[in-house]
Structure 1
């Protein structure tokens, strides 16, 4: 009994070890898994894309169709008559399309111009254009050199103007001082007070003129003394900023001195005017000093003009240098662009411009075709309701055509009906005749829709191209109408197209992928894919047209697959290894050993 219990303990211990190892193995394997993204790749191919709309209806018992124009205008000609047999596409009524002809002409000219621009962009720069660009850059560089020389010369000329001014300014300042503060009339009274006191006996406003003259002189003296000190401290070889500042300071000083001269002149003139008005004779000294002041005015005005001109010449030269530097940068970039060739984005933009003009011309031609009312199928004209000179309007019948073939009528919702045009090709199948498929063309579209339970639908009549005796009036028919078709266009699987707001884009590998890229479970990329914005066109159930953004044979990502993949060898270990035990050291008891 004791031996049996010992065996039981050993067996239980082994079971605990096995269970613990299994749990460890499962947890370890689960933790070692990570999500991997596989990318299914494809290429951009050229092909044909067709879009269509489908509907169902019945074969009509009547094969009569009202012919309605798509455009309005005056009827120019009616080359058919009632009872006449016509073929499909025969002209029935011609409506005046003068304005539309002009639109087509302008669209053609616009397309030709855009195409010429595109062709020019694709051409490499010719030697003459390169030479002209190089010469233009050289001329700009020469102009910049000349502007630099002119600026240096303008500083020299400006310093000369300052020197010329200070040949006169000190004597002018001294003379002005003598006129105002000298004792020409009395040793006990300065001149400025003499003029004021004598004039004040008649008009006390004289003191205002006196005070103004004194203040103006004080301002001029202060400005002159500082300016003269700066002038003496500045040499011709000083830096440009110092010379420029000296020119500006001298200009302002000259203006301040001119104000002081004028104030002194105003005081003396006031004195003479008041005395003369009272019949008294002014002092002859006053006349002499007025003559002296007029001489100062002439000199100071000349210096003001020269200094202002010097200051402006420097500023203009500085602006010229700035503009020349910009011109050099612009012409350098222009030459580099010419040497590098047309930028790819500019080329794409111009190609898009050409395509837009192609579309505009196509639309204009389609609109022009609307003014020619043609027979949608073979038949006999049961009636012609317009004549030359009559007005014709869209949606109003101009003739009635009896088809020699059966007519099918299907119902389409308003969205699909908007895509349908007379003359579009259609394929028809029949529920009652499973092996029969016939072709036809759209013969008529309802002008007004029918509303049922809030849903608007339009009836579309399709003329069958061939007659089959098995097709009977009232039979149910399904029709697929081709609304658009493009050949030799770039196509990608629709699953590759992503949207972000109003933009569409595709993902492309940001690395070179070699080998078979068509594997259905995808491949792993070492780099994150790159996003490219695209313009899309037509789209069917599987493919989408790319009008810009991608090139033929370019690799794209069709779809992504996320999966959990093990990155550890844990799953390949035995349970015993997972627990740290060795198969050679642990014996698993056989079934017969239990119960011993």
Structure 2
């Protein structure tokens, strides 16, 4: 934004901006060199028992391919236990923060008294039954033993069902994410071919006029193609923005949404390809060979026919994954879990209500609140660690390569640890190796997406992902740094080992959020605020504007931010106008603040709009 004030004018002027909905991306940048990985040892990240090894010596493997699995029973149980403990801790904190009133105190007293009466009645009933069962003690022992056997069998059956169901879901979601990733590599090619059917980069609908000369200006074939292309292009762009923010280990609802969105997008692209195919079928029965576009039609028709056949296969793959997930969830048993939970919690209810009553009467110690908050944080960390260990039970290929050596000493059922080498993977995979300071490195995680640019190849940008983060930092002149390795998603021949690279790693992204320039946010007395303008949108982004009314202070809650823009969580709505800078005639005559550059992931068929993280080049 730039603001300029006239020399003799004493009027205060403003630069203002409009609050907009957009995508906000935060990234960490680092520089380094291109290197080549010759080989890497495949090791488990956690200890456990081998339940499957799915590789052989000299076997080719692909990135993300499942190489081996560890038993997940303990890891799943750890997650289940951690979730229960975390829920209990949160509930206890909620109770501590809720002040007791007369009604809740009375309810607690009544509940406690009722629970005590129920307990005493059950105890008395048990004692009476015990007295009259002296003559049938043996029969009771036999019945008890049989009941115990029945319970153990039911419990074992339940555990097997739970393990099998969870294993099926894990595999289905992993396959679903991998299928989406594979489909996206192809969808961009289909969209490029459709774009070429319509026109060129210089003239987006160059060939439409020629088609109208053959089929007529009011041709339904042409109109259907244009409508279908607009719809599929919009879906593809939105789907791609969502795809780059989702990772394989994200929650299942997010991955499921990604699978459904990609299936919808793929169907829309198939519909567009089908419309293009019908249009070409109508053209080739006409006299068109004398036209300049005849060669273009002859070239594009077989491409469209081939794409339509291929995308149909993509739809089948995505639909199969979706059906597997839906069927597994639908058939998951939960009645046994409810019964087991009810059995375990029967005695606990009385103790819990009695303790709650005592705490209500005694009041809440602030130290108890702080202590419980710390407990909740600890339990959240424990749950995160448990989920991470479960994911680590599936050992996958970090990149494409060949299994050079397989540890034949390791068999199914053997116990392994993080130091156990299961196999050696050889490759000539190019990677970027960079160094980040300890503050930036703390935000980096394995599998985060990144863009790589090259000093020697300014026209080339490659997408990659983080595959390794140094465990130990290196200290130089009092500064701690960590090495980060980023694998390339595609191999570009011009890229050579030793080339200097700049890597932008996406650490966080949000779409459809309210954003405004960071310079519009002000902080005073522990709170954030903006200066809200009551004016038309025509004033926005205009330097040196004289406002019709004085701006008013508006408190806001902010969220994610990068170097240029900040997310507004509450306090403003889309379309609001705020002050970015004030131009006082008595101050400096000319001021210049940063101008946000627009980034776009420029691949065929994609238009991401104004994503706000810096300037990027062509995406390959």
Shorter chain as normaliser: what TM range?
0.3 to 0.5
* Rg larger for: 1
Taking structure 1 as the reference length, the TM-score comes to 0.41
The TM-score with structure 2 as length reference comes to: 0.40
